[in-house]
Amino acid sequence: MNTDIADVRRNYSGEYLDASNTPGEPLALFQQWLALALEREADDANAMTLATVDSLGLPHARIVLLKGIDERGFAFYTSYQSHKGAELANVPHAALVFWWPATQRQVRVEGRVVQVDESESDQYFQHRPRASQLGAWISQQGVEIPDRTWIEERKDRFERLYNGQDVVRPPHWGGYRVVPEIVEFWQGQADRLHDRLRYRRHDDSWNKVRLAP
């Protein structure tokens, strides 16, 4: 079946976005946008594209979940032994993209990446559902496996291992934090004349400029 997507388009009509009606630093604006997205987008508002590069400079991207946001940056959790973990070990910089279609908004983040403190990773892990805690042990992210049975056998093994006791955080699993250097806000507008506002970190302050669509 031939699917023609050339004429698939959406004309936006979002709220006006400008330097004059936004705060001096990006965290406050991001939290405002995220709060509205959580109302409009339900369970997917914290989904974000994480882009990394490997040791050869080749780009890789995937969807992960934002699990913490404060003045230090944007936190997510994964296996340190995953492909993205290896990429971040070689090149500790990343880009994030949030897309919220219900509010016609996008946010781009670029910055260096650091590992979250072990105590903070422990605290987050303790609040995960038990099945998700076991999943951190069961899955060896990115490793080639023969079939679904391989996963089910590991699942049975770790369920027996931790039967009747708390699941501890695997040493190979924890958090990363993207420390933002650039945060760009995009508000969809009619006729592709969108509003774009970019914050760039300069020492302990932020410079804010408006960009052409």
Q: Return the minimum-mean-pLDDT range out of 6-10, 24-28, 93-97, 116-120.
A: 6-10
Task: Output the pLDDT for position 197.
Answer: 98
Domain map of the chain by residue range? 19-128+171-211
Q: Return d(Cα 22, Cα 16) in angstroms, integer.
A: 10
Q: Is the pLDDT of residue 34 over 60?
A: yes
pLDDT digits (tens, 9 = 90+) for 118-142: 999 999 999 999 999 999 999 988 8
Residues with a catalytic annotation lie at 192
Q: Are 204 and 183 in contact (CB under 8 A)?
A: no
Q: What is the pLDDT of residue 2?
A: 60
- Which range (24-28, 38-42, 47-51, 82-86) has the least confidence? 38-42
- How large a percentage of the chain has pLDDT more than 70? 99
How far apart CA 158 and CA 62 sit, in angstroms, is 27
Tell me the fold of 19-128+171-211.
Answer: Pnp Oxidase; Chain A (2.30.110)
C-beta of residue 82 within 8 angstroms of C-beta of residue 92? no
Among residues 94, 116, 114, 95, the alpha carbon closest in space to that of 173 is found at: 116
**Is pLDDT of 185 > 80?**
yes
pLDDT of residue 117: 97
Tell me how far apart the alpha carbons of residues 150 and 92 are, in angstroms, rounded to a whole number.
32
**Percent helix, percent strand, percent coil in the chain, to nearest 5:** 30, 35, 35
Length of the chain: 213
The chain-wide mean pLDDT, for the chain, equals 94
pLDDT > 60? residue 89: yes
DSSP label at 132?
A: H
pLDDT grade for 97, boundaries at 50, 70 and 90: very high
Q: Are 177 and 75 in contact (CB under 8 A)?
A: yes
Q: Which residues of 4-30 are buried (b: 16+ CB within 10 A; e: fewer)?
A: eeeeeeeebeeeebeeeebeeebbebb
Q: For 181-187, what is the mean pLDDT?
A: 98
| 76 Cβ contact list (under 8 Å, min separation 6) | 48, 50, 64, 65, 66, 67, 68, 175, 176, 178
Looking at 4-8, 47-51, 181-185, which range is the least confident one?
A: 4-8
What pLDDT does residue 1 have? Answer: 55
Percent over 90 (pLDDT), the chain: 86
In this structure, what token pair is assigned to residue 172? 């190979």
Mind listing the pLDDT tens digit for each residue in 40-81? Answer: 987 899 999 999 999 999 999 999 999 999 999 999 999 999
